[in-house]
Amino acid sequence: MKSLGFMLSVVLISLSTVALAQSDAQKSFDKLKILAGIWKGPLTTDPAQPDLPNLGWVSLRVTSKGNALVHEMKEPGTPDDPTQDDPITTLYLDGDRLLLTHYCDAGNRPRMVGKISPDGKTVEFDFLDVAGSTQYGHMHHAVFTVLDANHHTEDWTFMMEGDKPVHAHLDLQRTR
């Protein structure tokens, strides 16, 4: 009888751990979904990338009946045309994890796992894996920080050939 009680305790603790992880993933996802809209702001890189085009705008759109968030970066002056080459990122729940898949103009699809900060303002994504060639580099890390309903920052780390990081910082204001 003691062993049955012990096993029941282990099962209940395991289930509560899974529920906690799911709620953290859901909290992270819900935090990011409030960013739905069009955003503009300066893009800076470290080290500086002089040939990098300016940022026109960032669009975040909730889709698939609330099950996915689509993030699109647009260069200034490019038409709103599906034939244009814009990097797309999807964010979604996969069981007890918040995942990000970046459809990169480098021709690959890195995935990252997100977690929310204790203060609930930042969701940080760590590299999980990548599909496709990394010959031209790959996106490796992302951080979304919500400052208020109309202001957030994004920090992206792109790994160049030889694992040399380029850090991009976007300071974005909501336009709609």
Q: What are phi and psi of 33, to 5 degrees?
A: -65, -25
Euclidean distance between CA atoms 166 and 84, whole angstroms: 24
Residue 111, pLDDT above cutoff 60: yes
Convert the pLDDT of each residue in 42-85 to its tens digit.
Answer: 999 999 888 777 788 999 999 999 999 999 998 777 766 666 66
Range 79-108 average pLDDT: 87
Task: Give per-residue pLDDT as tens, 112-167.
Answer: 999 999 999 999 999 999 999 999 999 999 999 999 999 999 999 999 988 899 99
pLDDT value at position 14? Answer: 41
Q: What are the residues whose beta carbons fall under 8 Å from the beta carbon of 94, sequence distance 6 or more?
A: none
Q: Report the CATH number that the domain containing residue 20 is assigned in CATH.
A: 2.40.128.20
Length of the chain: 176
Give the range of the structural domain holding residue 128, as residue numbers without chain letter: 2-174
| Dist. CA 50–CA 48, nearest whole Å | 6
Mean of the pLDDT values across residues 22-38?
90
Whose tokens are 């109309």? That residue is 150
Looking at the 3D structure of the chain, how many domains does it have? 1
pTM: 0.83
Q: Which residues pair with 88 in a beta bridge?
A: 72, 103
Q: Is the pLDDT of residue 6 over 50?
A: no
Q: What is the mean pLDDT of the chain?
A: 85
How far CA 28 is from CA of 95, 120, 171, in Å, comes to 13, 8, 20
